[in-house]
Structure 1
C-alpha cells in the first residue's frame, strides 16, 4: 500500500516537479559559476594588458632618453672638446672655451628634452673614466660615486641603465660612452626625472580604483602609484598581481589590483536548506526563482559594468594607437635629425661617411674602371668673418655656402657638412681627373659671387682637396684623410684653389705629427736656442741692437727651419710657450750685454699670441722686471697680418708697452696690406723693410721707387727704418743715401750664438767700426 501511495500520479508529479526544480537550480548554479569564472578571466586579461602597456611605455621612454644621450655623445661640440684635449691644449688656450661650450650644450639639452612639459633629465654630468667631472648641469648636486666607469671602459660598452640610492632615495641613471676615433673618452651620466617615471606608470590609474604600481630594480622598488586603502594591504593574496620584465636586465613592472567583488549566487545555508526541505518544493522553488531573478539582475549589472569597462579600454587602446603613431613620427624626426645637420639641412658627418662607404662599395662591385671622387672643401678665412661679424653672420654664410655646393654637385653627387666650415662632396662614376678638375673649377666659380648677408655683403672663397677611389685609397676613412691632406696643400698654395692628393703629402703629414711631438718635448726640455743677428747704424757702422731669432736642432732630425716649426707651433697652440721662452732668453742675455754696449734687442711676436693680448702684455712686463732689462732696450716686432686681423683692442694692448718705454716695430713692411692708416692708428716707432725689395734695387725701378716711398713716408711720420737682408755694398749705399737709419743682413753678419755675438761686441769696442764684421 505504501508503494502504491508513493506511486500515486500526484506524488510522481510532485516528485518529478521537485526533481525538475532541483535540476533547474543546479543548472542555474552552474551558469552562475561559469559567469563568475569568465568575469574573473576578463579582469585578469584587462589588468595584464594594462601592465603590458606600462612596460611598453617605460621601454619606449628609456629608449628615447638613450637615443638623446647617444646624440649628445656624438655632437660636434663634445668631439671638439676631446680633440682639443688630445692636442694638449690648456684650459687657458682653447680647452676652457671648449669645456664651457660642452657645459652649455648639456644645459640646453636638459631644458629642451621634455615630455608633456616636464624635463626628462633631472641632471646631466660628463665624467672621465677617473670619475672626474668635466661638465655638470647641477654642480651643487650630490657627488656621483661607485659608477661602473671602469667596467664600461674595458668592455667598450656604449650605454647602460643603473639604479642607485641617493640619500635613501632610489634614482635611475643612464650612462652613455663618448667615443673619439673609436676609443672611449668619457661617460655622459643622466639622472632621470622621477616625476616622469611616475607619470609613465600611472597614466591609466584612477584614484577610486584600488591599485599599486612600482618599478622593480636591482637596488629596490620605485613606487609610482598606490591607491590601496589602509583596510586592505596591496599584497593580500586575494588581489590580482602581475610582474612583467623590461628590456633592461633586472628591471620589471610590478602591479597589484583589487578585483571586483565576486558574491556567491547561493549561500551554503540556503543551498543546504533547499536540499533539506524537499518537502516544500513549490515554496522553495518560487523562493529560489525569485532569488535567481535577483541574482540575474546582479549578473546583468556586472556584465553591463564589464561592457562599460571594455568600451573604456577600447577608448584607451585608441588613444594608445594615436600615441604610438605620434611617437613613430617623433622617432622618424629624431632619425632625420641624427643624420642631418640642423643648420644647413645637409647630411652630417656620420651620414656623409656612411654614404662614402656605400659609393665605394658600389664602385667595388662594379669592377675595374669605376672611380669615386671625394672633395674636402673648407671656407677660406671663415674664422675671421665669424669672429669679426658674429656667429649669426657666420651661420648665414654657412647656409648659403651649402646651397652653392649643392648647385655645384648638380644632383650627380652628395654634399655633406663635415663640421664647422668643412664640407664633403662625393661623386661616383667619374670618367677621369679632367672631369674632377672641371668640377672643382665650377665650385670655385660659384664662390666668386658675393654673399648677401644681413648687414652687408661679403666675399668668401673655398679651398678644395681631392682624393680618388681606388687610386688614393679603397676605404672611406682613408679617402677622407687624404683629401684633407690635399686640402692642406691647397691652402698652403694660397687658398681659393684645389689640389689632388699625392703620396708626398703622407710624408708631410707624418713629419708634421713627428715634429709636433718633438716640439712639445723640446719646449719641455728647453732644447730651443736663440741666435742674434746684429743690427747696425748705417751711417756709423756700429752695432746698436740685435734681432732674437729662435733656432732648433733636434738630436735625430738635425737643424729644423723656423719656417717649418713656427707655423706648426701657431697651429697647435704651442706658440705662446715658445714665445715666452724666446722672450725670456733674449731679455736675460740683452740685460747682461748692457754693460758692454747700450744696445736694443728685437723680439718677434706672433699674431696668434695677441689673441690673449692682456696676458701677453703682462708676461712681457713681468719678463722685463725679472731679467732687469730696461723697457727702452726692448723692441717688439709684429707682422702686418696682426693689423689686418683688425683687433679691436689691439691699441689698448699695445698702450701699456709704450707707456713703459717698450719700442714697437712693424716687421716685413710692404709685403702685406700696408696702409698709412695703420701707422697713424697704432704707436709704432720703427718699421722694417723686407729683404724682398732689396734684391732687385739695381734692376727694378718699381722696387727702387717703393723703397724710396717707404723711406719718405717714415721720415714724414718720424719713424726709424730698419732694412733687412742687406747682402751687398751697393744696397747699403743706396739705403744710406736715402736716409735709412739701420740695417741687418749677411753683409754684416748672419744670426749667431750669444757667445759669438758677445765676441763681436768686444771686437767692436777694441777696433774702429768696419763695413763688415768678422764672424768666427
Structure 2
C-alpha cells in the first residue's frame, strides 16, 4: 500500500511540474511582450525626436543661406516659404498626417510647411505655451504628439511638428504583433515537442496506474480478485439483490486441508503451484457472472447468485469438494488436497457483506471441527461461539503473565507391584471468570496462535522443577510431559529440553517426553532425527495414543522409543469386547518383541485392571487409581503408594 501511495504522489508531482512549467512560460512570455512594447515605443519616440532635430538643422541652414542672399532680410515671403517647403519635402522624414510649422516666437508669425494646409489642432491654441527660453521637448494634446524644436542658429525660430499619437505608436504595435506571432509560434512548437517528449512518460504513467490498480485489486499468484475487491463487488451484488426478492446470494468460504504439508515437504514453490491449480479448478466450476477471489494463504471465497427456480447451492458445493479431492501433479509428484467449506446466505443470515463473510468463516471453522472434506451452513449460535473463542484467545495471551496455569499429575502404576512408577503432567487453566478451562478447549487455540511454544516450555520447566522437589522428599519418580507436533517442529526443541534440565537440575533419566503418532509418521525422516537427538540427552520417549494413527512395525523399529501408550478407546471395552481384547493383546505382544514397555491409559474399573494384568501390560493409569490432581494433593497421595524400584 505504501508503494501505491508513493507512485500516486510521484504522478501528482509530475503533473504539477508540467502545469507549472506551462504557466511560467506564459507568464514570462507576457512579461517579455510588455517590456518589448514599452522599449519599442520609447525608441520610436526617440527616433522621431532625432529626425525632427535633423529637420530643424536643415531649416536653420536654409534660413542662413536665404538670409545671406538677402543681406540679412529673413522675412517669410512667398519665395522663402516655397523654398522651405521644398527643403523639408526633400528630407528623408515623411510621416502620414503630420503637420509642421515654422514659428517666429517673438511675433507669433508661423509658416505651415506641410503640403496639406489643414490641421486638426490649430496652432494658435498652442502659441501661449511656447517661448524662446524653452529647450526642445514634446507633449501630447488632444490625441496628437506636439514636438517643439528650436532652431540651433536662429533662436527666435522654432520648428513645431504635430503628429497623431497613433502614428507614433504604430511601429510599436507592429513590433508587438510580430513578437506575439513569434512567441505564439515558439509556444506551439514547444508544446508540440513537449507533447512528443512527454507522451511516453504519460503512457508509462498510465501503465503504472493500471499496474498499481491490478496490484491492489488482484492476487498476483493466481490472478484472482483479492479480498478487498471481492468485498467491494459483493456489496454491489447485495445492493442489486436487495431490490429483487426472488434473488439470493451464497458466500462460500473455502479452506484447503493439508496445504501446509505440501509447503513444508515440497517447498513454497510447490505450494504456489498447488494454489494456482486449485484456482483453475474453482474457475472452471464458477457459474457465469459469479465471483471468485483468493482471500489469504490457502483460503478462497466464492459469491454465487441463486435465483428462484434454479438449483440450490449444495450441488455446486459438492462438485467443488469432489474436484479438490482429485490428485494434483506438482514437481512430477502426485499430491492430494481436500477442503472444508462454510456457507452463509443473503438475506437469511445477514444483510451486509462484512457479516456474511464472517458468518461463512464461522461455518467453515465448524465444518473443519466436524472433519475434513465437509461443508457447513451458518447457524445462529456460531457467531456466539466465534466471539467466545476470540475472547478465550485474548485471555489465553495474558494467562501466563497472570500465572493462571497449573499442572496436575496423574500417577502411573506398576501392575506387577502395585507401586507408583511415575506421573503424567497435565496442564490446567484456572480462568478468573470461566473457572477451570479444559485443555481440549485452549490447546488448539494455543497451537493456532503459536502460544503453544511458551506454554509448552513453562509446562516442561514446572514438571521438572516439581520432580526435583519430590526427589528431595524421597520420591524419585519419572515425570511424563506431552509435546505437541508444533513444539517438535520447532528447530530448537532439543536445546529447550537441554536448557530446562540444566536450569532445574533434574537428571534426564527422570524425564519422559510423550509424542503423537500424527507428528512422527507425517514427517518420518525429520522425526527420526529429532528423536535421536533427544535420546542422546538421556530422556525417555513414549508414543502416545498408540493404535489410532499410522503406526507400523517397520517405522517402530527405526524409532528410538521406550514405551507405547495404548489409547483409552481400546481399554474401554476390556474385558468383554473381543475386538478390543485382541487389539490390546496384539499391541502388548508386539511391544515385547520390540523390547518396548506398554502403558495402558484410561483404566477406570477393576475388571480392566485385571485384564491388563493378565495380558502382561507393564504400567497403567486412569481414574481407577487416581484422577489428575494438584502437586500438593499428589504429594499427599504418594504416602498411600510405595515407589516402584524399577528406575
- Alignment TM-score > 0.5, same fold: yes
**1:663 CA drift (Å):** 0.6
Partner of 1:366, secondary structure, is coil
Relative to structure 1, is the Cα distance of residues 718 and 474 closer, same or farther in structure 2, using a 3 angstrom cutoff?
same
Which residue matches 1:104?
none
Counterpart CA distance in 1 for 2:31 and 2:413 is 97
2:48 to 271, 276, 288: 271
Superposition pairs for residues 83-122 of structure 1, below 5 Å?
A: none
Calculate the TM-score normalised by the size of structure 2.
Answer: 0.74
Relative to structure 1, is the Cα distance of residues 258 and 397 closer, same or farther in structure 2, using a 3 angstrom cutoff?
farther
Which residue matches 1:378?
255
Which residue matches 1:642?
519
Q: Which runs of 5+ in 2 are unaligned?
A: 56-86, 97-169
Relative to structure 1, is the Cα distance of residues 433 and 552 closer, same or farther in structure 2, using a 3 angstrom cutoff?
farther
Which residue matches 1:69?
2
**1:256 CA drift (Å):** 10
Relative to structure 1, is the Cα distance of residues 731 and 318 closer, same or farther in structure 2, using a 3 angstrom cutoff?
same
User: Which sits farther off after the overlay, 377-386 or 572-581?
Assistant: 572-581
Which residue matches 2:162?
none
**1:655 CA drift (Å):** 3.7
Q: Deviations over 1:383-435 (max 9, x none)?
A: 22112211111111111111111222221521111121111111123459971
Which residue matches 1:757?
634
**1:203 CA drift (Å):** 12
Counterpart CA distance in 1 for 2:524 and 2:309 is 46
Superposition pairs for residues 131-530 of structure 1, below 5 Å?
A: 201=17, 264=40, 267-278=44-55, 279-285=87-93, 307=185, 310-320=188-198, 323-367=201-245, 369-431=246-308, 435-530=312-407
2:481 to 571, 593, 603: 603
Q: Deviations over 1:572-607 (max 9, x none)?
A: 222222222222222222222224333211011111
Which residue matches 1:667?
544
Residue 534 of structure 2 corresponds to residue 726 of structure 1: no
Whose radius of gyration is greater, 1 or 2? 2
Whether the aligned pair in 2 keeps the contact of 1:605 and 1:637 (CA below 8 Å) is: yes
**1:382 CA drift (Å):** 1.4
Partner of 1:626, secondary structure, is helix
Relative to structure 1, is the Cα distance of residues 391 and 431 closer, same or farther in structure 2, using a 3 angstrom cutoff?
farther
Q: Which runs of 5+ in 1 are unaligned?
A: 1-67, 73-112, 114-119, 121-158, 160-173, 175-191, 206-210, 214-238, 244-254, 770-776
Relative to structure 1, is the Cα distance of residues 302 and 501 closer, same or farther in structure 2, using a 3 angstrom cutoff?
closer
Counterpart CA distance in 2 for 1:557 and 1:462 is 34
**1:699 CA drift (Å):** 4.8
Relative to structure 1, is the Cα distance of residues 727 and 198 closer, same or farther in structure 2, using a 3 angstrom cutoff?
closer
**1:566 CA drift (Å):** 1.3
Relative to structure 1, is the Cα distance of residues 203 and 517 closer, same or farther in structure 2, using a 3 angstrom cutoff?
closer
Counterpart CA distance in 1 for 2:519 and 2:240 is 49
**1:460 CA drift (Å):** 0.8
Q: Root-mean-square deviation (CA), in Å?
A: 3.8
Whether the aligned pair in 2 keeps the contact of 1:240 and 1:259 (CA below 8 Å) is: no
Whether the aligned pair in 2 keeps the contact of 1:643 and 1:678 (CA below 8 Å) is: no
Whether the aligned pair in 1 keeps the contact of 2:467 and 2:476 (CA below 8 Å) is: no
Q: Deviations over 1:152-190 (max 9, x none)?
A: xxxxxxx9xxxxxxxxxxxxxx7xxxxxxxxxxxxxxxx
**1:353 CA drift (Å):** 0.5
Whether the aligned pair in 1 keeps the contact of 2:407 and 2:427 (CA below 8 Å) is: yes
Counterpart CA distance in 1 for 2:446 and 2:180 is 84
Structure 1 stretches of at least 4 aligned residues deviating more than 6 Å after TM superposition: 196-200, 202-205, 255-263, 295-302
1:738 to 615, 618, 621: 615
Relative to structure 1, is the Cα distance of residues 351 and 212 closer, same or farther in structure 2, using a 3 angstrom cutoff?
closer
Whether the aligned pair in 2 keeps the contact of 1:694 and 1:725 (CA below 8 Å) is: yes
Whether the aligned pair in 2 keeps the contact of 1:726 and 1:744 (CA below 8 Å) is: yes
Whether the aligned pair in 2 keeps the contact of 1:536 and 1:545 (CA below 8 Å) is: yes
**1:644 CA drift (Å):** 3.6
Relative to structure 1, is the Cα distance of residues 440 and 257 closer, same or farther in structure 2, using a 3 angstrom cutoff?
farther
Relative to structure 1, is the Cα distance of residues 357 and 596 closer, same or farther in structure 2, using a 3 angstrom cutoff?
same
**1:319 CA drift (Å):** 4.6
Counterpart CA distance in 2 for 1:298 and 1:240 is 16
Whether the aligned pair in 2 keeps the contact of 1:430 and 1:436 (CA below 8 Å) is: no
Counterpart CA distance in 1 for 2:520 and 2:407 is 26
Counterpart CA distance in 1 for 2:632 and 2:199 is 87
Partner of 2:329, secondary structure, is strand
Counterpart CA distance in 1 for 2:600 and 2:32 is 95
Relative to structure 1, is the Cα distance of residues 620 and 242 closer, same or farther in structure 2, using a 3 angstrom cutoff?
farther
Counterpart CA distance in 2 for 1:332 and 1:747 is 71
Relative to structure 1, is the Cα distance of residues 286 and 707 closer, same or farther in structure 2, using a 3 angstrom cutoff?
same
Relative to structure 1, is the Cα distance of residues 339 and 267 closer, same or farther in structure 2, using a 3 angstrom cutoff?
same
Relative to structure 1, is the Cα distance of residues 441 and 202 closer, same or farther in structure 2, using a 3 angstrom cutoff?
closer
Counterpart CA distance in 1 for 2:411 and 2:350 is 51
1:559 to 431, 436, 441: 436
Which residue matches 1:711?
588
Whether the aligned pair in 1 keeps the contact of 2:33 and 2:179 (CA below 8 Å) is: no
Counterpart CA distance in 2 for 1:504 and 1:409 is 30
Relative to structure 1, is the Cα distance of residues 370 and 312 closer, same or farther in structure 2, using a 3 angstrom cutoff?
closer
**1:659 CA drift (Å):** 2.1
**1:545 CA drift (Å):** 0.5
Which residue matches 1:581?
458
Counterpart CA distance in 1 for 2:579 and 2:19 is 86
Higher RCO (CA < 8 A, seq sep 6+): 2
**1:351 CA drift (Å):** 1.0
Counterpart CA distance in 2 for 1:308 and 1:71 is 38
Which residue matches 1:25?
none
Partner of 1:405, secondary structure, is helix
Partner of 1:667, secondary structure, is strand
**1:276 CA drift (Å):** 4.3
**1:298 CA drift (Å):** 12
**1:325 CA drift (Å):** 4.8
Counterpart CA distance in 2 for 1:507 and 1:308 is 74
